[in-house]
Chains A and B, each alone.
Chain A
Amino acid sequence: MHWGVVVFPGSCDEQDVHDCLKNVLGQRVEFLWHKDRLNGDFDCVVLPGGFSYGDYLRAGAMARFSPIMQGVIDFAHNGGLVLGICNGFQILCQSGLLPGALTRNTHLQFICRQVYLRLEETETPFTCAGKKGQLLRLPVKHGEGCYYADPATLERLRKNRQILLRYVDNKGKTSEPANPNGSLDHIAGVCNEGRNVFGLMPHPEDAGEKILGSEDGLKIFSSIIEACGHREQKAWPS
């Protein structure tokens, strides 16, 4: 399948995503420059981690105004798959493609560590290769990863089963110490109602090889690959 990885000024993880998709999974990957329009037949567009435009105002606040994002928003509205990782998640929230917001970690420090995540839903193109309740070990590294949504939105997320990942301990239980940033309801990743846009704070691209300590990140990318293979036959329940 054909992947596009957006490069904003200040993106840091675009190469990691590229290398994981291309070198580990043998995918066709193209970088998309922020000043360009979205052109081409992409199956999935990835917004990588980093500090787009320096993130001096608010994480992701500037990136949504870039020319490429206009195309990405249209692409998403037409059902295209969009994956936002870390800063990409922040940009998706700022662009209105995903509900809620990512605010400063409650402990006010940047946090870099391995976390465990529980796969909450598998009926999405981003998680279909996994099993419900399965644990994934991925790194997080961010200063603004505390997920917040107002009570009504949170209720809707739960009802529509849009919460795809939660921070848990190594036994699969949610707890304060297992939550690295104070996220509401331990939320690590959510999708939109159409189930074609997914944002998560942890970095699957940095956990794609055994030598790096975990291959669990591949679960996300292989789900997408699998989903694209089936797209013609299967519609995702929302």
Chain B
Amino acid sequence: MAQLRTKESSPSALSAETIASHGLTEEEYRKIVKLLEREPNYTELGVFSVMWSEHCSYKSSKNHLKLLPTEGSAVLQGPGENAGIVDIGDGLAAVFKIESHNHPSFIEPYQGAATGVGGILRDIFTMGARPIASLNSLRFGSLDHPRTRYLLNGVVAGIGGYGNCVGVPTVGGEVYFDECYNANILVNAFTLGIAKKERIFKGTAKGAGNSLIYVGAKTGRDGIHGATMASEAFSQKKEQRRPTVQVGDPFTEKLLLEACLELMEKDYLVGIQDMGAAGLTSSSAEMAGRGGTGVELDLACVPLRETGMTPYEILLSESQERMLLVIREGSEEEAKRIFERWDLDGAVVGKVTNDRLFRASFNGEEVVRIPIAALTAEAPVYNRPAERPQNQEEIQKLDLSKVDVPKDLGATLKTLLDSPNVASKCWVYRQYDHFVRSNTVVAPGADAAVIRIKGTQKGLGLTVDGNSRYCYLDPYVGGILAVAEAARNLACVGAHPLGLTDCLNFGSPENPSVMWQFSEIIHGMRDSCVALDVPVVSGNVSFYNETDGAPIFPTPVVGMVGLLPKLERHVTPWFKSPGDLVVLLGRNREELGGSEYLKVVHGLVRGTPPWIDLRLEHAVQQCCLKAIERGMVRSAHDISDGGLAVALAECCVAGPEKSLGVRVELPEMMRQDARLFGESQSRIIVSIKEGDLNRLTGIAEREGVPVQVLGVVGGSRFIIQPLVQLAVNELQSIWSSGLERRLQ
């Protein structure tokens, strides 16, 4: 795209090639001409190009996303704003969203990931909320791939470098490795903030005559057409895309955050939005779109850090750490004084109008004149063709008679604990500050993070989750399981789900197989959300995660937030004391399809993902939550990747203090490997004091949940009768070093 930067052509000179290089189809161009009733000029073409990009317009996903349930008793703001908002009582609201920064992070991992964190932080404080916790979901290729370690190092350092400096703790997340991400990594960043319910701000431009104030870093040529880049698949030339990645400055972000929060206490702020993808163009056009107004920009007033920038470049720059504010007419100087106090540049760059036009002038000449609706409401929406892939049936076939049960199941358990997807992720999260703001009650490494809400007795549980292997094998079921597991993780710490935000990472929407996966997953997520009563309040779609025609596994990542009414009752996954009873809530089934065990031990990605009964799932979660509320649960851990044996081992070794042994019995009902490593859903391992067993069974009976006493905590050995007998210290050291040793 480099050749476009300096070229400013006359309106009539737009060649078919220029139009195509802006990522617009011929049909889309014809629509532009029809909407404008004339040919666009070069600058206008650039504006359309970013606003109609997949990244900004959601043109392929919009019709599907409508299916997701977005309403609930706690929802204050659903999708469509900078972030979603739920009511948490005490006059407070939780504001949260997850967003992808996949394409830039692959091209330039440190800056790509860092600016991903910066972008999501701005989405949150834009709404009047102080960000208090971040999480992230990261997917990399196989650790054997030559580029993976470089990408992992860069991404983790970038997330830490930015988040730590801004002073927002990173309290949780997930890291997965799979070959399908070799050429397309995923970096999904989640942030949550707390706002006063009556001081929530929206990205809206209202009141003709009000001023548009630009504040933050100066505008440079970085990131031009970032949104367009994120709306294309990679080819061999992706390295050349490096200049489209922005460079982050967390210090400026921190100043911007503090200055904006200070300004939000004043009554002259009408609306505010960050300049993210598509920069000044999308922020001003979207605000006018929501406000039913127009905007008039004077591009010569935009603070620039480079000379000779053209209107095209100023409008499309994606320089970081910039915000656009609508300030009531007459209060501009007051607002600027706050920015001066924080050493930030603030400039009036335009005003709100009532002509519903997006207009921009440069040195007295009008360079853009487009109806706002043409950029927002009238942007194309597609019902892309969707078709079940021909090999779908084939990959679901799994003949277990050809899968040998390993002779030494203890050795198999060790192999799984050592595998990068199961092993401790401490190497990653110890590079993130997870203590700052002194709210972190459960730090990274548990099923969900728990943070307290200062000034109340309450806490929030936070998790990000998704299993793309399940989604690949059966996207409908995979969509159900993604939501179910996130809710189960919250139940394990004692948090009642309030809402979720989703980051939907897929291949090209122009590929009918990908669109089929997308549609199936949305249906699955919808059914799960309805059954578990969790509304979707915000989200993000990232298409074109494919290289040379090979898409990633469909990867919906669910970020879910839940409320702990009594924070002191929170629970962690690891065993607490010798003598406690180990109890299974839920039921074991003989299921191995899509399991981590099949992949790691047998090299198979096949079969159907685990079956789920959403009524039982809901009942298991309710049972766990009620038992936690009554104070009888000493530990609770969800059974997921690696099955029961891995989950039990984690209960023994994952705690911050000394490891504890366990002795359990698994009655023979099915294949030994399925007993140990099958990933049946709706199962939680809890430990309780012996005397509480009757009370727990009582709750389980009322909820209709099967309960099975597995054994007892204690000793220095890890014993699953009659299959496994190992020293718990050995498991501890294997699990702790599995990832780190591969990175040395």
Contact = CB atoms under 8 A, between A and B. Distances in A.
B431 A112 contact: yes
Contacts of B165: 10, 12, 51, 54-55
B724 interface: no
A25 B440 CA distance: 19
Contacts of A139: 435
A141 interface: yes
B2 interface: no
A206 B435 contact: yes
Given A54-B165, A114-B656, A212-B441, A141 B435 contact: yes
Given A111-B430, A112-B430, A211-B568, A206 B250 contact: no
A54 B255 CA distance: 10
Nearest to B459: A211
B447 to A, nearest CB: 17
B29 interface: no
B254 interface: yes
B247 to A, nearest CB: 13
B431 A111 contact: yes
Nearest to A11: B167
Contacts of A12: 164-167, 254, 433, 436
A53 interface: yes
A49 B438 CA distance: 12
Contacts of A209: 438
Contacts of A50: 167
Given A12-B167, A13-B436, A208-B438, A110 B656 contact: no
B732 to A, nearest CB: 14
B430 A9 contact: no
A54 B162 CA distance: 11
A54 B249 contact: yes
Nearest to A53: B251
B139 interface: no
Interface stretch (A15-23, A89-97, A147-155, A189-197): A15-23
Interface in B419-457: 429-438, 440-441, 452, 454
B690 interface: no
Contact of B438 (A16, A51, A56): A16
A170 to B, nearest CB: 9
Nearest to B443: A213
* Best-surrounded residue of B166, B167, B342, B434 (most CB of chain A within 10 A): B167
Contact of A110 (B166, B431, B454, B568): B431
Interface in B556-595: 567-568
A113 interface: yes
Say what secondary structure dominates the interface of chain A: mixed
B215 to A, nearest CB: 15
Contacts of A175: none
A220 B632 CA distance: 35
A111 B463 CA distance: 22
A55 B437 CA distance: 20
Nearest to A14: B167
Contacts of B507: none
A12 B163 CA distance: 11
A205 interface: yes
Given A54-B165, A54-B249, A112 B432 contact: yes
A209 B164 CA distance: 22
B251 A206 contact: no
Nearest to B437: A16
Interface in B652-671: 656
A212 B440 contact: yes
Interface residues of B, number: 32
A109 B251 CA distance: 19
Contacts of B430: 109, 111-113
Interface string B242-278: 0000000111101100000000000000000000000
A206 B255 CA distance: 23
A111 B433 CA distance: 8
B553 to A, nearest CB: 30
* Best-surrounded residue of B249, B434, B435, B437 (most CB of chain A within 10 A): B435
B160 A110 contact: yes
Nearest to B170: A112
Contact of A212 (B160, B167, B438): B438
A20 B254 contact: no
Nearest to B432: A112
B510 interface: no
A141 B167 CA distance: 11
A143 B156 CA distance: 14
A109 B435 contact: no
B164 A9 contact: no
B343 interface: yes
Interface in B98-151: none
Contacts of A118: none
Nearest to A109: B431
A203 to B, nearest CB: 7
Contact of B254 (A9, A13, A15): A9
Given A54-B249, A110-B160, A211-B441, A9 B435 contact: no
A55 B164 CA distance: 12
A227 B567 CA distance: 34
A141 B567 contact: no
A9 B342 contact: yes
B434 A112 contact: yes
B606 to A, nearest CB: 38
Given A13-B167, A112-B432, A205 B251 contact: no
Contacts of B436: 12-13, 16, 49, 141, 206
Interface string B319-338: 00000000000000000000
Nearest to A210: B568
A12 B132 CA distance: 12
Given A110-B164, A112-B433, A212-B441, 6 more contacts: A12-B165, A12-B167, A13-B436, A110-B431, A112-B435, A141-B436
Interface of A: 9-13, 15-16, 19-20, 49-51, 53-56, 109-114, 139, 141, 143, 203, 205-206, 208-209, 211-213
19 contacts: A9-B251, A12-B165, A12-B166, A12-B433, A13-B436, A19-B454, A51-B164, A51-B250, A51-B254, A55-B165, A55-B251, A109-B431, A110-B164, A112-B431, A139-B435, A141-B164, A141-B436, A143-B164, A211-B452
Nearest first, the 4 A-B pairs at minimum CB distance are A12-B167, A54-B251, A16-B438, A141-B433
